[in-house]
Structure 1
Amino acid sequence: MNNSAVPSPKQISKRWRPTLLDGVLIIALICVAIWLTYRSSIGINYHWRWSQAFELVFTPTANGGLPYFVQGIIATIRLSVWGMVLAVTLGTALGLAKHSAISVFSVPANIFIQLVRNIPPLVFVFIFYFFISNQLIPLLGLSDILRGYTGEVSAWQAFLFGPSSLWENLLSGVICIGLLSSAYVAEIIRAGLSAIPKGQWEAGKSLGLSTWYQYKDVVAPQVLTAVAPALAGQAISLVKDTSIVSLISIQEMTFVGTEMANSSGLIFEIWLIVGACYFLLCLTLSLLFRRFETQQR
């Protein structure tokens, strides 16, 4: 065992010792907090109604179901999970295609990536929903399932996909978010593949491995370790991007928060609660990915 790799107590204490810049930043933050508190006390005349806001947030629906806001949180999580699945699956395929030396694969992949990355997300969502989604669902023969489903919904279907009346909204939102993020995931995967030294590929060939096993056993583990931080950041961005689909009437957390804030007049309280929920979701993801990165080392 190499003891030189283990930091000594002196090194650990030195690592955590605050610097002069840290002290300056802390003092600056304290001054800003004091100034904001002072200005708000003399310049903002707003009566906070937190008790009413929390009562509204946690009030069950008329039929005794989950509170409307909680349903919005669940819808956001559901959108995020399925959006990540689509983004990682499609993004990996696009990244492999763009990295390929065969132009039949690389050119279409590059065109898609450039289109998605250079169109504003809001414009892309509107284009997809109004010009593509309305045509895509009938084309795939999903109209009866997504728009007119009258059968019984099992417990696992409700857990994975929500109420049947919102399946069309869920699919539209998942495809929008997944397509948007897949272009960025593709570039992350492509960059990870390009960073693999040429000697690794040659080593796989020298062992007689096929192209599939070269990717699976030699390249993929190294790429996954290299791109994990970037994928973590993209996953967190995807969670925040789910708020965009509220503009096409998908009832996730931002859409629900907008309705509740407008109907109750608790503008500041509701939006602060919405922001706190997004923060907790993203922070949880960040901690999970950090733990994963630590285990990979």
Structure 2
Amino acid sequence: MPGTTFPAFLKLNKLDVLLLGVIAATIGWLWYRSSAGIHYQWNWERAFSLIMTSGRDGELPYFFQGLLATLRLSLWGIVFAGVLGLILGLARRSTWFFLRLPAQAYIQLVRNIPPLVFVFIFYFFISSQLIPVLGLEAVLRNTPTEISLWQSVLFGPANLWENLFSGILCVGLIAAAYIAEIVRSGIDAIAKGQWEAADSLGLTKLDRFRFVIFPQALSGIVPPLAGQFISLVKDSSIISLISIQELTFVGSEIANSSGLIFEIWLLVGAGYLALCFGLSVLFSHLERHSQKHYQAR
């Protein structure tokens, strides 16, 4: 319609149209080959029926319980990884040796170990010992099953809090090493003149960082940070290997029990696509907001 405007993320250029066409052709070819080549009988009606079947006592369907578990794991993992990554990134640039060396050692260690190996090492050798050391046994292992609504929404069932905590630590510790390097490189990209200008104003180190350096670094940090957070959502699928009941774990159980391999895994992929696309849209808005000072010039 004349005068109709669309959000920026819905505007397609020629390359977008070409890519969508290639994707559609690929999906169509795979669909044809699965039907004609291996004679796979699609049964979407039963697949949707399975994922929509309610649990006991009016609980959400098992599939959507896994989707919510992935959402909780991803959101808390993003918060934890963001805070820890910022601290590590600042420590990485510190002039104090006893801060810089441990941060650099941690970053290099995590970035050069496969995530799957890290998850197994953490879960089987560290996680079981870490909870008592932190004094969280009473909260994570001895919490009554009757919890408030806000606790249920934010953290899920009380009997799975320990699993959620372990999963958050796993994905957060892995992502924090990469976020630290993003933060460090973003700050290092600020011109030396900006530091000197902040010094000339007589600002303290904290105010110099808060009001001059970090706002400028943020515009360069947001795009790679968005990619890293989206990767965190996708990488959360490896947590299923330590029996945390997120979307991949739930999808695997439903697919194996029903035999609807293609249908269920495509629905699992659609769930991750929805989560990652929503996050990419959010960060596109944040990116435009962080670059307003460039547009005002």
TM-score (normalizing by structure 1): 0.88
Indicate conservation of the 8 Å contact 1:84/1:178, yes or no.
yes
Change (3 A) 1:291 1:79: same
Match for residue 45 of structure 1? 39
The alignment's C-alpha RMSD in Å is: 2.1
Match for residue 234 of structure 1? 228
Match for residue 11 of structure 1? none
Q: How far off is 1:29 after superposition?
A: 6.9
Indicate conservation of the 8 Å contact 1:99/1:193, yes or no.
no
Is residue 222 from structure 1 mapped to residue 213 from structure 2 by the alignment?
no
Match for residue 5 of structure 1? none
Match for residue 59 of structure 2? 65
Whole-angstrom CA distance in 2 between matches of 1:140 and 1:27: 53
Q: How far off is 1:263 after superposition?
A: 1.2
Whole-angstrom CA distance in 2 between matches of 1:88 and 1:176: 14
Describe how 1:137-156 pairs up with structure 2 within 5 A. 137-150=131-144, 152-156=146-150
Residue from 68, 86, 89 that aligns with 2:83: 89
Whole-angstrom CA distance in 2 between matches of 1:190 and 1:257: 38
Q: How far off is 1:201 after superposition?
A: 0.9
Higher-Rg member (1/2): 1
Change (3 A) 1:127 1:18: closer
Change (3 A) 1:233 1:122: same
User: Which one-letter code corresponds to 2:276 in the other structure?
Assistant: C
SS at match of 1:63: helix
Q: How far off is 1:42 after superposition?
A: 2.9
Indicate conservation of the 8 Å contact 2:34/2:40, yes or no.
no
My pick for the range that moved more, 216-225 or 147-156, is: 147-156
Is residue 255 from structure 1 mapped to residue 258 from structure 2 by the alignment?
no
Describe how 1:1-297 pairs up with structure 2 within 5 A. 18=14, 36=30, 39-150=33-144, 152-297=146-291
User: Which one-letter code corresponds to 1:254 in the other structure?
Assistant: T
Whole-angstrom CA distance in 1 between matches of 2:216 and 2:23: 40
Change (3 A) 1:138 1:50: same
Whole-angstrom CA distance in 2 between matches of 1:248 and 1:40: 32
Whole-angstrom CA distance in 2 between matches of 1:17 and 1:141: 54
Unmatched 5+ residue regions in structure 2?
1-11, 292-297
Q: How far off is 1:269 after superposition?
A: 0.8
TM-score (normalizing by structure 2): 0.88
Indicate conservation of the 8 Å contact 1:69/1:257, yes or no.
yes
Whole-angstrom CA distance in 1 between matches of 2:254 and 2:98: 50
User: Number of residue pairs matched?
Assistant: 279
Whole-angstrom CA distance in 2 between matches of 1:29 and 1:273: 17
Q: Deviations over 1:191-227 (max 9, x none)?
A: 0011011111111111010000011000110111111
Q: Deviations over 1:138-178 (max 9, x none)?
A: 11121222112226411111111111100000100000010
User: Which one-letter code corresponds to 2:246 in the other structure?
Assistant: E
Unmatched 5+ residue regions in structure 1?
1-15
Q: How far off is 1:17 after superposition?
A: 8.0
User: Once superposed, which parts of structure 1, at least 4 consecutive aligned residues long, lie more than 4 Å away?
Assistant: 16-19, 25-38
Whole-angstrom CA distance in 2 between matches of 1:237 and 1:256: 20
